Chain A
Amino acid sequence: MRLEKCWFCSSTIYPGHGIQFVRNDAKIFRFCRSKCHKNFKMKRNPRKVKWTKAYRRLHGKDMTQDSTFEFERKRNRPQRYDRINTEKVLQAIPKISKVKATREKDHITKRLSVGRVNRKREDRRELEQSISLVKAPSVLKEDATLTLPKQKVTVSYAQTENTRMEE
């Protein structure tokens, strides 16, 4: 029994699932479900189809280089059964997959954290600039709690003259 990878979406194919297509040049394409198979028949390139692992890895959405991937490489040489080795491997598999999952999650969080900071900055700027759409400026001046705390910004002497004139 061997767990294969779907040619299109790179998910694991468990025994009893999917279709195996053998092309006349003896290249075997395995598909996990009919969705992937139909996309293949439509001659779609998995590197261009957004939900596949191939696309995500290519566009840096998912982790590509990591030491945990070394454990999952395909080995074609059959190993002689060694009980101690098998036990160790069976104990190690959940640990490795847990480490891999946390690392992948961290990779995605790190990628998305830039967006979070930007969004927060934009929200703050919008609040400062467009608060007059929500509340009249006169009300804001009376009640100090409705505005954001003012930040000290150093400006040149000429600019300060101008603002005093506007008020």
Chain B
Amino acid sequence: MAARFLSKSSSGCSLLGALGTSLVGVGSVARETTSKFNCSDIFFQQQRTFVQMGTNLKVVDNSGAKRVMCIQALKNKKGAKLGNIIIGSVKEARPRGKVKKGDVVYGVVVRAAMQRGRCDGSHVKFDDNAVVLVSKQGEPIGTRVFGPVPHELRKKKHVKILALAEHIA
């Protein structure tokens, strides 16, 4: 948890990554001088954090939007996790859809790269950050949901999304 706070912003990670590449480019001498941690460790241990203001999320329903940028995560100061609701601004949309670019919409996070603990003690993580657009009452705007969804949504009472899902992880 402490490590997550340390590297909270994604910009910090990319900076370290850039540093790593520049060091590797110099040569073997440079590698010897970096005593404490290996350059390759920075590449592989990407710290995944919450869905917060500014996070771009993929939209996985057929509501018309393609990308949504989170402007507020409801219910948590740090950010949204898997299964939480966010308020987002539509950044990219398909031409004839139910939502347009620039709309402010509610969405349920159905896939998050940050792992979420389950009640049996295990953790789940997905490949990307994805959201399903939802009305203020919690009803999905679209009629189809693509990709796997977690069964955490059942506890959060998003049963409609589970019903539309093609695969429940």
Q: Is A69 engaged at the interface, CB distance under 8 Å to the other chain? A: no
Chain A's nearest CB lies how many Å from the CB of B79? 20
Chain A's nearest CB lies how many Å from the CB of B157? 21
Q: Does A24 contact B148, Cβ atoms closer than 8 Å?
A: yes
How would residues 104 to 126 of chain B score, 1 for a CB under 8 Å from any chain A CB and 0 otherwise?
00000001000100001111111
Instruction: Report the nearest B residue to A27, measured CB to CB.
Output: B148
The CA-CA distance from A54 to B60 in the complex, in Å, is: 35
Q: Does A16 contact B121, Cβ atoms closer than 8 Å?
A: yes
CB-CB under 8 A from A20, the residues of chain B are 122-125, 169
The CA-CA distance from A37 to B148 in the complex, in Å, is: 20
Q: Does B127 contact A24, Cβ atoms closer than 8 Å?
A: yes
Q: Is B37 engaged at the interface, CB distance under 8 Å to the other chain? A: no
Q: Is A26 engaged at the interface, CB distance under 8 Å to the other chain? A: yes
Q: Does A26 contact B44, Cβ atoms closer than 8 Å?
A: no
In chain A, positions 6-46 with a C-beta closer than 8 Å to chain B are 13, 15-24, 26, 28, 38, 41-42
The CA-CA distance from A26 to B60 in the complex, in Å, is: 14
The CA-CA distance from A76 to B125 in the complex, in Å, is: 23
CB-CB under 8 A from B125, the residues of chain A are 19-22
CB-CB under 8 A from A24, the residues of chain B are 111, 126-128, 147-148
Among candidates B115, B120, B169, residue contacting A16 with C-beta atoms closer than 8 Å:
B120
Q: Is A1 engaged at the interface, CB distance under 8 Å to the other chain? A: yes
CB-CB under 8 A from B167, the residues of chain A are 26
The CA-CA distance from A23 to B111 in the complex, in Å, is: 10
Chain B's nearest CB lies how many Å from the CB of A1? 7
Q: Does B127 contact A22, Cβ atoms closer than 8 Å?
A: yes
- Chain B interface main SS type: loop
If A22-B169, A26-B148, A26-B169 touch, whether A16 touches B122 (CB-CB below 8 Å) is: yes
Instruction: Report the nearest A residue to B45, measured CB to CB.
Output: A38
Q: Does A41 contact B120, Cβ atoms closer than 8 Å?
A: no
CB-CB under 8 A from A19, the residues of chain B are 115, 122-125
Instruction: Report the nearest B residue to A41, measured CB to CB.
Output: B44
CB-CB under 8 A from B44, the residues of chain A are 38, 41-42
Residue picked from A1, A17, A26, most chain B C-beta under 10 Å: A26
CB-CB under 8 A from A16, the residues of chain B are 120-122
The CA-CA distance from A89 to B147 in the complex, in Å, is: 38
Binding site for B on A (CB under 8 A): 1, 13, 15-24, 26, 28, 38, 41-42
User: Could you show 6 A-B contacts with beta carbons less than 8 Å apart?
Assistant: A17-B122, A18-B122, A20-B124, A24-B147, A26-B147, A38-B44
17 A-B pairs besides A16-B120, A26-B169 with CB distance below 8 A are A15-B122, A16-B122, A17-B122, A19-B115, A19-B124, A20-B122, A20-B123, A20-B125, A21-B125, A21-B126, A22-B124, A22-B169, A23-B127, A24-B126, A24-B128, A26-B166, A38-B45
